[in-house]
Amino acid sequence: MGLFDLFSKSAPVQKTVDVEASLTPFNLASSLYGTLNAPTAIDRATAMSVPAVSRARNIICGTIGSLPLEQYNKITGQHVEPLRVINQPDPRVSGFVVYNWLAEDIWMYGVGFGLVLDAYAEDGRVRAWTRIDPKRVTQKFNNNMTAIDGYLVDGVMAPIAGIGSIIRFDGYDEGFLTRSGRTVAAAVELEKAALNYAKEPVPSMVLKSNGTNLTSERIAKLLEAWRGARATRSTAFLNADVEMQSVGFDPKALQLVEARQYVALEIARAAGIPAYFLSAETTSMTYSNATSERRSLVDFSLRPILSAIEERLSLPDISPSTTEIRFDLDDFLRGNALERAQVYQILNTIGAMSIEQIQEEEDLIR
């Protein structure tokens, strides 16, 4: 470019509109609205510091981990002896540990992962696998970012199949930590407020000097002496040079107890667990409606996670194609002794169950 080109006027650039690009859906998450109103993701440690969240997690995931898995023939519906990889996928630990943490991953993150430890040589089916932390797994997408080509474990590409490959358990949404981040964040702040008032069980105080200005060292000693005295006695004495003033509100004025109860109820709703299990609402429970609450827990809270695990374990890379895997809910949902006796009587009368089968069901045969 010559010297005179710097002073010459270039022809105006004609603006063109890319119609195809303008019709592309706009991503609200990248807009100002999305930035201000997008869900707040919370990490696990922060969420578990809230008692309502930790109790919801332990009820949901602990219950799923304790349920036995059974294997059935798809055609006849006949029960078959489940493979060892079903109830104890990792030979090193109990099946409860694996499924307890796997259920947490699906519930909290929306996806869980298993790492294949061993496979059968004849058909490549999984012989052993274990749960792996989702934070260790990275998805590798294709060039168009439309499909997953593979997975990286700790930054190393995992094989597509066989030992070291990844088993993916897809959940039903983006996970509790993402969809309920703001509610959990509010609960965390309320827990912090409760801790502050536990340390200082009175409104915030200001000690005002009516005399000369004190040095920073004198002020620090005065505050330490005041804190130490309040820890040992409730009555305080101040001379004419110091005046105490209260600022802020006490927990009752802030309705801290009511706010924490309300957030606990919101967490129960977000977790999909009946509020009764978190003591988030006052209700009178009897044995009969407590059994009904268990059914509600299965139907509205556990069922999506149960289905995610059942259907993934039923795929041909783990189970034979002629069988399917289902959780056994009989013991968890069984009623009281009178209800069971009435049901057994009816089933025995119509010939659906024999005396021996009833005894076996009630663990009366040794």
Tell me whether residue 358 is in a domain: yes
Task: Report which residue type is found at 356.
Answer: E
State yes or no: pLDDT of 23 exceeds 50.
no
Tally of structural domains, the chain: 3
- Full-model pTM: 0.69
What tokens were used for 21? 């690009």
State yes or no: pLDDT of 346 exceeds 80.
yes
Q: Are residues 356 and 213 in the same domain?
A: no
**Which domain does 360 fall in, by range?**
337-366
Q: Are residues 87 and 179 in the same domain?
A: yes
Q: Are residues 74 and 212 in the same domain?
A: no
Q: Are residues 52 and 84 in the same domain?
A: yes
| pLDDT band, residue 151 (cuts 50/70/90) | very high
Q: Are residues 312 and 222 in the same domain?
A: no
| pLDDT band, residue 66 (cuts 50/70/90) | very high
pLDDT of residue 285: 52
Q: Are residues 92 and 120 in the same domain?
A: yes
Q: Where are the alpha helices (DSSP H) in 5-94?
A: 19-22, 32-37, 44-48, 51-66, 84-87
pLDDT of residue 301: 87
Q: Are residues 166 and 314 in the same domain?
A: yes
End-to-end Cα spacing for the chain: 98
For 22-42, letters b (16+ CB in 10 Å) and e give eeeeeeeeeeeeeeeeeeeeb
Percent of the chain scored above 70 by pLDDT? 71
Residues counted in the chain: 366
| pLDDT band, residue 16 (cuts 50/70/90) | very low
Tell me whether residue 143 is in a domain: yes
pLDDT of residue 293: 76
pLDDT of residue 218: 78
Tell me whether residue 26 is in a domain: no
The Cα 322–Cα 314 span in angstroms is 9
The Cα 250–Cα 97 span in angstroms is 44
pLDDT of residue 341: 77
State yes or no: pLDDT of 85 exceeds 80.
yes
User: How far is CA 357 from each of CA 44, 89, 364, rounded to the nearest angstrom?
Assistant: 45, 30, 10
Which H or E run includes 156?
strand 156-157
